[in-house]
């Protein structure tokens, strides 16, 4: 007998498996597609690093923190 009712954790879900993600381009504000995302280990909490490309072909490799999610 277990008391484990809700053992699922969102942390176990890879960002790449969530499908298309759109964020605001940091440069022009246009919708930008997240082409790649992964968590990188740091000395502190893991940081999610994303590669994004916007409609104007700007692209960035940067921490997801601070990005505007559309």
Q: CA 12 to CA 20: how far, in whole Å?
A: 18
Nearer of residues 38 and 59 to Zn ion, judged by Cβ: 59
Least CB distance from residue 59 to Zn ion, whole Å? Answer: 8
Other beta carbons less than 10 A from residue 49's beta carbon: 16
Contact status, residue 34 vs residue 17, Cβ threshold 8 Å: no
Least CB distance from residue 39 to Zn ion, whole Å? Answer: 24
Query: What one-character DSSP code corresponds to residue 69?
Result: B
Q: Which residues bind Zn ion (CB under 5 A)?
A: 25, 27-28, 30, 54, 56, 58
Least CB distance from residue 49 to Zn ion, whole Å? Answer: 18
Q: CA 49 to CA 52: how far, in whole Å?
A: 10
Nearer of residues 14 and 27 to Zn ion, judged by Cβ: 27
Nearer of residues 54 and 64 to Zn ion, judged by Cβ: 54
């Amino acid at each position: 007998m277990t008391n484990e009712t809700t053992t699922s954790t969102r942390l176990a879900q890879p960002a790449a498996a969530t499908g298309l993600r759109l964020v605001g381009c940091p440069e022009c504000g246009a919708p930008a597609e997240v082409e790649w995302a992964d968590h990188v280990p740091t000395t502190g909490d893991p940081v999610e690093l994303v590669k994004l490309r916007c409609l104007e072909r700007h692209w960035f490799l940067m921490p997801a923190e601070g990005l505007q999610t559309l």
